[in-house]
Amino acid sequence: MAKTASVVLTQNLSDTKRTTSFNHSANDDEIPTIDYSMLICSNDPDQRLKALQYLAYVCEEYGFFYLVNHGVPDSVIERALNGISDFFNLTEEEKMDYEKKDSTDRIRWGLGFSPGDHEAVKREYLKVLPHPKFEGPAKPAGFREALEDYYQRNREVIINLAKAVSKTLGFEENYLEKEFELETGADVSAMNVYPPGFKPNTQIGLPAHYDPGYLVSLVQNVNGGLQLNYKQKWINVDMPSNALFINIGDHVEVLTNGKYKSPMHRVILNNEVRRVSVATVHGPSLDTFVKPAPEFVGESHPPAYRGMIYKDSLEANGYHEIDGKSCIAQLRL
């Protein structure tokens, strides 16, 4: 177990987390915004501390946020999203080369249908494993390279964000890296296309679910569709331009014994435009045993989750890393 950070930092985060808004207030209908440049890149210690304080509050109160000024170029994101759209425009015969045959396939293409109607496609997806070893489709030309570029830059942001989250918990910055063995962390990415043409707000593109992993990142081409459950109310994810959407994963919830919670979310189909998204689950090493850390367990806070090897938790969930009901229910005591 990593050693805790200084008492001063822990005390500051705890004492001010509910009063420090850092210029990004959020009510029940708004999603908080975290400025990556202030959190990671600022040379001003006071500014970084305030950013950490706000991140601590957001992680505990919400479990999700927009990440702005993250440094991933717009051109990299656009190139990846355009490549994904081009892949889904391939003929079905070409895409069948990647049809899901086994849940552990490194590249998996498939279709999701409306309940009771196997003619109405509500979702088409392509799943790849960006880390520890990336493999991508050979078609269309340039697609694999565009994806790899995006995933490499995205992962750098996520690793730095994991360091910041570690600090908000009162630990040294490499706490999550060590606990989850992130050097060999298992990342899974689902590229989705949701077709238009359904009655608005009546068709579910992806049922309510939670995500495994420690952090989850998302980019999309248009707003409208993704919804989060906050205080028993569904709120829309209307991302600012050039932002990443981030949410806490199930395995941070387990590690912190429920201090930081993985949020429930779903996708509602848009009746006007085709929505393309890339959701990436950033996970521990497959062999990592994840359980509530001793620092979050005590007489008044007994363990709320059972421990489990990360690979086993994915298997228990049928390897539905992003579109399943999540393994969190199976881990709760």
What is the tens place of the pLDDT at every residue in 111-120? Answer: 876 544 444 5
What's residue 271's pLDDT? 63
Residue 221 has pLDDT above 80, yes or no: yes
pLDDT category at 66 given cuts 50, 70, 90 is very high
How far is residue 122's CA from residue 178's CA, in Å, rounded to a whole number? 40
What's residue 202's pLDDT? 54
pLDDT category at 2 given cuts 50, 70, 90 is very low
pLDDT category at 209 given cuts 50, 70, 90 is confident
Amino acid in the structure at residue 185: G
Say if residue 67 is exposed, middle or buried (CB neighbours under 10 Å; 0-12, 13-18, 19+).
Answer: buried
CA angle in degrees (0–180, nearest 5) for 249-313-175: 50
CA distances from 158 to 155, 236, 295 (A): 5, 23, 24
For 7-331, the fitting CATH number among 3.90.1150.10, 2.60.40.10, 3.30.420.300, 2.60.120.330 is 2.60.120.330
Select the more confidently predicted residue: 39 or 10.
39
How far is residue 281's CA from residue 261's CA, in Å, rounded to a whole number? 15
Among 301, 291, 282, 224, residue whose Cα is nearest residue 254: 291
Amino acid in the structure at residue 248: I
Place of tokens 């980019």: 219
| Average of per-residue pLDDT across 69-93 | 96
Residue 300 has pLDDT above 80, yes or no: yes
What's residue 1's pLDDT? 44
| Average of per-residue pLDDT across 229-246 | 92
Kindly state the tokens that stand for 32. 């908080």
- Report helix, strand or coil for 117: strand
Residue 121 has pLDDT above 90, yes or no: no
Residue 9 has pLDDT above 60, yes or no: no
What's residue 101's pLDDT? 75
| Average of per-residue pLDDT across 97-121 | 72
Kindly state the tokens that stand for 331. 């881990």
What is the tens place of the pLDDT at every residue in 133-191? Answer: 999 999 999 999 999 999 999 999 999 999 999 999 999 999 999 999 999 999 999 99
pLDDT category at 92 given cuts 50, 70, 90 is very high
What's residue 199's pLDDT? 57
DSSP H helices, the chain, are 7-16, 36, 45-61, 74-88, 92-95, 143-168, 175-179, 250-255, 310-316, 328-331
Residue 296 has pLDDT above 50, yes or no: yes
| Average of per-residue pLDDT across 85-114 | 86
- Report helix, strand or coil for 305: strand
What's residue 274's pLDDT? 85
Kindly state the tokens that stand for 228. 């989060």
Separation of first and last alpha carbons in the chain: 23
Most confidently modeled of 28-42, 192-206, 274-288? 274-288
E strand segments, 144-274: 187-194, 204-209, 215-220, 226-230, 233-236, 244-248, 265-268
What's residue 318's pLDDT? 59
What's residue 198's pLDDT? 55
Residue 6 has pLDDT above 50, yes or no: no
pLDDT category at 196 given cuts 50, 70, 90 is confident
Among 253, 265, 57, residue whose Cα is nearest residue 168: 57
What is the tens place of the pLDDT at every residue in 17-61? Answer: 333 333 333 444 589 999 999 999 999 999 999 999 999 999 999
